[in-house]
Structure 1
Amino acid sequence: MEAQSVTPYLLQPHGSIPNNQRLPLLLYQQVFQATGDLTSRFKTAFAQHGWAGSWVNGVYSYHHYHSNAHEVLGVAAGRAVIIFGGPGGKEVAVTAGDMAVLPAGTGHCLKSSSPDFKVVGAYPAGQENYDTCTEQDDPDEKKRHIAQVALPESDPVAGKDGPLLAYWK
């Protein structure tokens, strides 16, 4: 990890998007310099630190969240604006090398992106069978699931001494 510039955002519930009332969304700026094969660098770092089920794609263009898993998104190419927290939520510009760690329940939706935008996603070990919830799901039921999601054992790129553990204690 080349930079430890991390910004936390504790998101309040928004409509039927519950967000997480205990754990903040963490935005990491320039975890890796935007050169070389960032897909491999993110996948390798995630795997080394116990974040599994990695995939490479974009971000859905509708508001959704996961009630049974935390998620990490490493920006491997391009740039985008992602809305966190549900409709009218926090709009964040991300570029290659940035990363977001979303606690269970955090709404996210792609607002706009460059044609080459792609992310590497992963989940803490044991949480790879994540659900995909939308505004149509019962937020009260999903809040019960969110409250039961175990904390990860390590930061997805910095391991056991990483900033995630300090913010999510």
Structure 2
Amino acid sequence: MVEPTITRIALAPSNDVPNNPELPVVLYKGAFDSGGPDETCAMLKANGWTGTWVYTVFPYHHYHPDAHEALAVASGSARLQLGGPGGRTVAVEAGDALVLPAGTGHCRVAQSEDFRICGAYPPGQEGYSTRRKGEMQAGDRAAIAGVPLPETDPILGMAGPLRGIWRNLH
């Protein structure tokens, strides 16, 4: 088992992107040995996260008001901006992952040609909505606050740090 470096990233709300005032983004550096997209998605599924897909991150600021999202880097590398315009930019590469709490703005700034991620959601949150920066709706902040916490860590399962980090804040 790989021992990742875990970083918590708190993001303040803005007028364009709500972010999540209660829960930080959790960044896992060097969390797993990537065998490519199929193996990466299988890891997320084995840890109880569903609705997997393989793609990249949209090149525009967006967020999901009704779902937490795991992004596991299956191949390549990228720079992602979290929190909306003026937010924090992070560099990720194969074997890294992020868990974005509902409402967290994210956008691809740059990527290698082979950059692919596997995305996944806690059970019941696969039917998520996507809002672009500036498309916030009246009920989004309440929806974000009401999204249930996941039962498992998408990267490290029941023993992973996500449940402890988020439950201790909630």
TM-score category, normalised to shorter length? over 0.9
- Distance in 1, Cα, partners of 2:12 & 2:134: 18
Instruction: Give TM-score, length-normalised by structure 1.
Output: 0.94
1:6 alignment partner in structure 2: 6
Partner of residue 49 from structure 1, selected from 39, 43, 47: 47
Percent identity over the alignment is 46
**Displacement of 1:137 after TM fit?**
2.0
1:121 alignment partner in structure 2: 119
**Displacement of 1:140 after TM fit?**
4.2
Task: Tell me, yes or no, if structure 1 residue 79 matches structure 2 residue 77.
Answer: yes
Structure 1 runs of 4+ aligned residues shifted over 3 Å read: none
Q: Say which SS state the counterpart of residue 140 (structure 2) adopts.
A: helix
1:147 alignment partner in structure 2: 145
Deviates more, 1:9-18 or 1:94-103: 9-18
Residues 46 and 156 in structure 1, CA contact (< 8 A), matched pair in contact too? yes
Q: Say which SS state the counterpart of residue 162 (structure 1) adopts.
A: coil
Q: How many residues align?
A: 167
Residues 49 and 155 in structure 1, CA contact (< 8 A), matched pair in contact too? yes
1:93 alignment partner in structure 2: 91
Residues 17 and 136 in structure 2, CA contact (< 8 A), matched pair in contact too? no
The answer for unaligned runs of 5 or more in structure 1 is none
- Tell me the alpha carbon deviations over residues 18-58 of structure 1, each in whole angstroms, 9 at most, x when there is no partner: 00011100000011135xx2323321121112100000000
Partner of residue 63 from structure 1, selected from 58, 61, 82: 61
Residues 53 and 123 in structure 1, CA contact (< 8 A), matched pair in contact too? yes
The answer for unaligned runs of 5 or more in structure 2 is none
1:23 alignment partner in structure 2: 23
Q: Say which SS state the counterpart of residue 117 (structure 2) adopts.
A: strand
Residues 59 and 109 in structure 2, CA contact (< 8 A), matched pair in contact too? yes
Residues 14 and 87 in structure 1, CA contact (< 8 A), matched pair in contact too? no
Residues 17 and 134 in structure 2, CA contact (< 8 A), matched pair in contact too? no
- Distance in 2, Cα, partners of 1:3 & 1:99: 13
